[in-house]
Amino acid sequence: MIYTVGRLKRTAGALASGTAADLNQNEPSSEPTPTEQTVQSGISLSGVSKSYPVNGEMIPVLKNINLDIQQGEFISLVGPSGCGKTTTLRIIADLISPSSGTVLIGGQTPRQARLQRRYGMVFQSAVLYDWRTVIKNVMLPLEIMKLPRQEQLQRAEAMLDMVGLKDYATHYPGQLSGGMQQRVGIARALALKPDILLMDEPFSALDEFTREKLHEDLLQIWQKTHKTIVFVTHNIAEAVYLSDRVCVMSPHPGRISNIIEIGLPRPRNPQAKTSATFSAYVNLVRSSFEGV
């Protein structure tokens, strides 16, 4: 089961009854897995492994990851520390290269995708530039792209508008709260107009209230822009609430234990978090971890 996931899909029918027992039935999907030809800005990882040398010995941190992420999908990688979820994201982002296996982003290598600015990256901390105002922070990637000044400004203003920070354009990051800073980080990632948004525990440093607000903002942005979002988190409820699918990863070595399709209706609203179905999904995700 461990290495053949990606085909574990659940029908909406099983969800209607909403019990964990129903959800736990592993029904093999009858649908074929998507191929590269049908995926435009989808991401496909096949047989991806990564090991690091420690004291002359190769320690595997990722073992045989097979995952197909579809265009416009919101997928979460969830798991405890050491499960390789961030490593997986960094491989997709071309920040590190896999020891073996192939990664294709809409048919391109991660390097090609990076150089064509096909993805935007959001980190746990906002990674803002203290010396730049909010709008200049959002303009930074556009300056690197050497876009005309006017377009830089227009795009940055539009992105700030999208994250609700239009009035803060001329503030410095130090004047903003943590949640606002993270929203600037998201606006900056979106400014590139990427097909894909890669988010590495973007809300884990925020307080619960701010985080919930940002969940709503992110879902709205996703609905407006139809980006493919790969979202790394260790927060199970967050993963279930936001995602189309939750990819559960286990450590030592990092591997995919289960991929769970979340059948909660869209658009999601905060009330869904109190439903029995929601709890059932959370429990299913929790019970999918191995060796923790």
Partner 1 sequence: MKKQLKSQYQAKPGIKSLKQSKWPVTLVWVAGLILIWELAAIEVAQTKRTPQNILPHLYQILAAAFSGKKVTNNLTATQVVLINAASTLLRAGEGFIMGVAFGYLLALLMSLSKIAEKIAFPYLMLIQMIPILGMAPIVLSITGDINRSRIVIAAILTFYPIAANCLAGFKAVEPQKHELMYSYGANKFQLYTKTMIPATWPYFFTGLKISAPLAITASILVDTLQGGGGLGSMLSQSLKHAMSIYVFWLIIFFIAFIGMFSFYLMGVLEAVLCPYRKWEKGGNEA
- Considering only residues 77, 162, 192, 246, which one is a binding residue for partner 1 as defined by CB under 8 A? 192
Rounded to the nearest 5°, which phi and psi values hold at 45?
Answer: -110, 125
Binding span for partner 1 by CB under 8 A among 112-120, 154-162, 214-222, 241-249: 112-120
* Closest distance of CB 40 from partner 1, Å: 20
Binding to partner 1 by residue 205, rule CB under 8 A? Answer: no
User: Would residue 276 be called left, alpha or beta, if left means φ above 0 and alpha means ψ between -120 and 50 degrees?
Assistant: alpha
Contacts of 23 (CB under 8 A, 6+ apart): 10, 14, 15, 260, 280, 281, 283, 284
The token pair that represents 205 in the structure block:
């440093």
The token pair that represents 209 in the structure block:
């209230």
Report the distance separating Cα 132 and Cα 44, nearest Å.
Answer: 36
Binding to partner 1 by residue 115, rule CB under 8 A? Answer: yes
Binding span for partner 1 by CB under 8 A among 175-183, 214-222, 241-249, 280-288: 175-183
Which 135-164 residues touch partner 1, going by CB under 8 A?
140-141, 143-145
* Closest distance of CB 173 from partner 1, Å: 8
* Closest distance of CB 49 from partner 1, Å: 22
Fill in the per-residue mask, 76 to 105: x = in contact with partner 1 (CB under 8 A), - = not in contact: -----------------xxx----------
Binding to partner 1 by residue 130, rule CB under 8 A? Answer: yes
Half-sphere exposure of 20 (CA within 13 A, CB side): 10
* Closest distance of CB 151 from partner 1, Å: 16
**Contact between 254 and 45 (Cβ < 8 Å):** no
Binding to partner 1 by residue 114, rule CB under 8 A? Answer: yes
Closest CA to 238 of 199, 195, 183, 182: 199
Q: Which is nearer to partner 1, 74 or 168 (CB)?
A: 168
Sign of CA dihedral 163, 168, 172, 176: negative
Binding to partner 1 by residue 12, rule CB under 8 A? Answer: no
Q: How many amino acids of this chain bind partner 1 (CB under 8 A)?
A: 29
The enclosing H or E element of 245 equals strand 245-250
Binding to partner 1 by residue 174, rule CB under 8 A? Answer: yes
Strands laid side by side in the 119-122 sheet:
119-122, 196-200, 228-233, 74-78, 245-250, 255-261
Q: How far is CA 200 from the centre of its chain?
A: 7
Binding span for partner 1 by CB under 8 A among 176-184, 223-231, 250-258, 269-277: 176-184
* Closest distance of CB 180 from partner 1, Å: 7
Q: How are beta strands 245-250 and 255-261 bridged, if at all?
A: antiparallel
- Considering only residues 39, 121, 187, 230, which one is a binding residue for partner 1 as defined by CB under 8 A? 121
* Closest distance of CB 89 from partner 1, Å: 11
Binding to partner 1 by residue 127, rule CB under 8 A? Answer: yes
Tell me which residues touch partner 1 (CB under 8 A): 93-95, 114-115, 117, 119, 121, 123, 125, 127, 129-132, 140-141, 143-145, 171-177, 180, 192
